[in-house]
Amino acid sequence: MKILKISTLLLAGLGITACVTNPVTGRSSIQFANNAEIATAASGEYRKALSSGKVVTGTADANRVKNVGGKIKNAAYAYYKSIGRESDLANYSWEFNLIEDKQLNAWCMPGGKVAFYTGILPVCKDENGVAVVMGHEVSHALAGHGNERISQAMLAEYGGAALGGASGNSKLMGVVKQLYPYGAQVGLLSYGRKQELEADKMGLYLMAMAGYDPRTSTSFWQRMQQASGGGGKTPEFLSTHPNPENRIADLNADMPKALEYYKAAGGKL
């Protein structure tokens, strides 16, 4: 919160408004980078990631990833439209692809470019499990966590010099390339713990809005922890996440609200 206030004062002195409030969670963050430019840069890196891996198409698993992604995307659009903020999603061009890879991982780039790895599907177990992961990763994009991290990096590296004109655009692209390096195992930048917690909450709500039972989220995270316990190394998907006990406690605290969304979507309690 202190960093947010300092950044706000700095940007206010430069005549720039950059405090963004998440309409689902209420959390505020500094995001002054250009979303359209970030989405363009991310799309290019996404194409490289797909071309360097084996994209799975036409299978039941691949179709499941696309179907779940589509439902969560549609639920998000409906919610944003209902509160008059559909313009927030103007720069999104969604894709949901399954990549053959044994990693327990999935990610979503700014602009809505999603990759699921086949290695995480056994942990997902079923469509509800896919929805837990999909909701979480899509939430990173919708919440502007990429913009937030890029903005933090630009302030730290360049200060006000990066905030305008052609020079600013060039520097933004440079930061995007640093944070989203081609070939990175995670597909990209790692998020902070506060962002992970926000993605948990927002993802829980989005899966419920899409008609998936949010109560299945806790069992997924228990399976995820069990699956990562025997290999001696925490998978990238969990590397910056809260510990399992705290995560499940937070999910349970958010569950009543999630169940309201689930019921409104036609779910049975």
Residue 246 predicted with pLDDT over 70: yes
pLDDT of 261 reads 98
pLDDT of 166 reads 41
4-18, 73-87, 162-176: segment of lowest average pLDDT: 4-18
80-84, 171-175, 205-209, 216-220: segment of lowest average pLDDT: 171-175
- From residue 267, how far is each of 132, 142, 247 by CA, in Å? 16, 24, 24
**Two tokens, residue 157:** 């590296």
User: Mean pLDDT in the chain?
Assistant: 82
CA-CA distance, 203 to 182, in Å (whole number)?
26
Catalytic residue among 37, 95, 127, 137: 137
Condensed to tens digits (0 to 9), the pLDDT of residues 10-43 reads 444 444 457 899 999 999 998 888 888 888 888 8
Condensed to tens digits (0 to 9), the pLDDT of residues 98-142 reads 999 998 889 998 899 999 999 999 999 999 999 999 999 999 999
CA neighbor of 93 nearest in space, from 22, 167, 40, 55 = 40
pLDDT of 61 reads 98
Q: Which of residues 140 and 188 earns the better pLDDT score?
A: 140
pLDDT of 226 reads 87
In 3-state terms, what secondary structure has residue 55?
strand
Condensed to tens digits (0 to 9), the pLDDT of residues 38-74 reads 888 888 888 988 998 899 999 999 999 999 999 999 9
Show the CA angle centred on residue 26, arms to residues 268 and 204, nearest 5°: 30
Condensed to tens digits (0 to 9), the pLDDT of residues 147-167 reads 888 887 777 766 555 544 444
**Two tokens, residue 249:** 């406690």
Residue 137 among the catalytic residues:
yes
pLDDT of 231 reads 45
CA neighbor of 146 nearest in space, from 247, 29, 11 = 29
Single pTM value for the model: 0.85
Average pLDDT over residues 165-188: 53
Residue 207 predicted with pLDDT over 90: yes
Give bridge partners of residue 28 from the DSSP assignment. 21
Provide the b/e sequence for 179-188 (b: ≥16 CB within 10 Å).
bbeeeeebbb
Size of the chain, expressed as the number of residues it contains? 269
CA-CA distance, 115 to 96, in Å (whole number)?
6
CB 185, CB 67: distance < 8 Å: no
State how beta strands 95-99 and 55-56 pair.
Answer: antiparallel
pLDDT of 158 reads 62
Rg (CA), the chain: 18
